[in-house]
Amino acid sequence: MSQKFDVVVIGAGPGGYVAAIKAAQLGLKTACIEKYQDKEGKLALGGTCLNVGCIPSKALLDSSWKFYEAKNGFGVHGISTSEVTIDVPAMVGRKSTIVKGLTGGVASLFKANGVTTLQGHGKLLAGKKVELTGADGTVEIIEADHVILASGSRPIDIPPAPVDQKVIVDSTGALEFQQVPQRLGVIGAGVIGLELGSVWARLGAQVTVLEALDKFIPAADEAVSKEALKTFTKQGLDIKLGARVTGSKVNGEEVVVSYTDAAGEQSITFDRLIVAVGRRPVTTDLLAADSGVDLDERGFIYVDDYCTTSVPGVYAIGDVVRGLMLAHKASEEGIMVVERIKGHKAQMNYNLIPSVIYTHPEIAWVGKTEQTLKNEGVEVNVGTFPFAASGRAMAANDTGGFVKIIADAKTDRVLGVHVIGPSAAELVQQGAIAMEFGSSAEDIGMMVFSHPTLSEALHEAALAVNGGAIHIQNRKKR
């Protein structure tokens, strides 16, 4: 007899594992299918995010920042050090220990909540049946009342730079370098390219980023992307915009990359090359021909605003469906789907998903940019507060960047919060909370903020929207 569950989730990334835990918490008999094995060949839950994405990249960003600060940032505090060195295998090893702890934590949460873990490859058949193929090749058919597809995404490969995970690596390979490459190339100035480029640049690599577009971080507010480009360039990152990679040739331990830019054909030699040109949805062998689940024109599983697919009772969430490829978007979609399976009226506010780039300075935003609002014909008031005027930022010797708040000129409702600078991600989250509750800039301005905090910059930017900032000269007069 085949096993039967109320909910079967395929994929245990932040979309799938959160959905599975929530489903079990709501009293649904739940199984989660996952096939990913770690380097030791053991099943590892947590998906891209915990194994080769958000967490390992942040572990390396934090380690490399400490190294960079110890080397370059301590003198100003009167601290002197003897030679500062980095043991790369130890740094990478620390990262792997954190990953192990977290993926093991998901396994414990599954146990504690009564989620059944099924190891193997899941494939949706017609009639909400799922074929589970175990690592040993055994096949089992599982029945479900509801199926949630959460198979995630994988790096995009481009023919001009085929990944060999030695000299030419993808984001996963770039988390495993055992020594600092002297000359490091990065294709793609997206979030992943900038974060991984930063890690190795802080450790001493000479980093060149080749980006096909002429615009830097086009999704960010223009004021933020301009500031970011200026700062990263000052930090030594060589960011070449309008540079489209057309080919590469590996010669032993180096790679010659050809690209075209405004000046014509160019070439440049690196010791390692990271290909970070985006990610694509994973649907390989996920859907039987008669499953009835449709894909959209870009190869994502087609879903509506509630993550329901073209088959009743089958849902899809996270990177395998339209929208931002972010862990928190995947998780919240999982929660929404499970709540709706239980008959609750859940929905997601797709307009308020924060985006973060964990470089230094950190970059984060929520809501719309000034350019988008202007293009939409919305009249806005803008308040900006530089960290250079923040006592807390001065104390921390971290004064680059600013907070920018954009509010509707008619209603004063906050429409966008954009931060480049220390703790940008945490500050933007405060903006997101305010926006979720329909806050005006004046509302934020009237709140009491602890002193001295970086959050005061958010307060002051909100005051500046209507010309009331205290610690800077207001551009707008009241």
Q: Which residues are catalytic?
A: 451
For ligand AMP, which residue of 49, 203, 210, 373 counts as binding (CB under 6 A)?
Answer: 210
C-alpha pair distances (Å), 286 with each of 41, 152, 275? 22, 11, 26
Cα separation, 180 vs 203, in Å, equals 7
Helix residue spans in 26-116 (DSSP H): 47-52, 54-72, 88-113
Q: Which stretch binds ligand AMP (CB under 6 A): 27-35, 188-196, 326-334, 408-416?
A: 188-196
Q: Which is nearer to ligand FAD, 64 or 171 (CB)?
A: 171
Picking from 333, 327, 407, the residue whose alpha carbon sits closest to that of residue 368 is: 407
Picking from 373, 385, 449, 448, the residue whose alpha carbon sits closest to that of residue 411 is: 373
15 makes contact, choosing from ligand AMP, ligand FAD, none, with CB < 5 to 8 Å by partner type, with ligand FAD
Torsion angles phi and psi, residue 126, rounded to 5: -65, 155
Q: Which stretch binds ligand FAD (CB under 6 A): 98-106, 148-156, 211-219, 241-249?
A: 148-156
Q: Which is nearer to ligand FAD, 190 or 401 (CB)?
A: 190
C-alpha pair distances (Å), 198 with each of 182, 186, 256, 342, 464? 14, 10, 21, 44, 32
7 makes contact, choosing from ligand FAD, ligand AMP, none, with CB < 5 to 8 Å by partner type, with none
Assess 278 for contact with ligand AMP (CB under 6 A). Answer: yes
Q: Which is nearer to ligand AMP, 152 or 383 (CB)?
A: 152
For ligand FAD, which residue of 20, 21, 24, 36 counts as binding (CB under 6 A)?
Answer: 36
Which long-range contacts (C-beta less than 8 Å, at least 24 apart) are formed by 20-23?
20/110, 20/115, 21/109, 21/110, 21/113, 21/115, 22/334, 22/335, 22/338, 22/339, 23/115, 23/338, 23/341
For residue 234, how many other CB atoms are within 10 A of its CB?
Answer: 9
Assess 359 for contact with ligand FAD (CB under 6 A). Answer: no
Assess 185 for contact with ligand AMP (CB under 6 A). Answer: no
Q: Which stretch binds ligand AMP (CB under 6 A): 26-34, 75-83, 185-193, 231-239?
A: 185-193
158 makes contact, choosing from ligand AMP, ligand FAD, none, with CB < 5 to 8 Å by partner type, with ligand AMP
Q: Which is nearer to ligand FAD, 91 or 465 (CB)?
A: 91
Beta-strand relationship, 121-124 and 129-133? antiparallel
**Which residues are bridge partners to 130 per DSSP?**
124, 142
Collapsed DSSP state (helix, strand, coil) of residue 200: helix
Residue nearest to ligand AMP (CB): 190
CA 29 from centre of chain: 31
**Which residues are bridge partners to 123 per DSSP?**
131
Show contacts with ligand FAD in window 425-444 (CB under 6 A): none
Answer for the pair 406, 414: CB distance below 8 angstroms, yes or no: yes
Q: What is the number of residues in the chain? A: 478
Write each residue from 312 to 341 as x if it is in contact with ligand FAD (CB under 6 A), else as -, in one continuous string. ------xx-----xxxx-x-----------
For ligand AMP, which residue of 192, 330, 366, 373 counts as binding (CB under 6 A)?
Answer: 192
Q: Which is nearer to ligand FAD, 268 or 314 (CB)?
A: 314
Q: Give the interface with ligand FAD as residue ranges (CB under 6 A).
A: 10-16, 33-36, 47-49, 53-54, 57, 121-122, 150-153, 171, 192, 282, 286, 318-319, 325-328, 330, 358
Could you list the residues that contact ligand AMP (CB under 6 A)? 158, 160, 187-192, 210-213, 244-245, 276-278
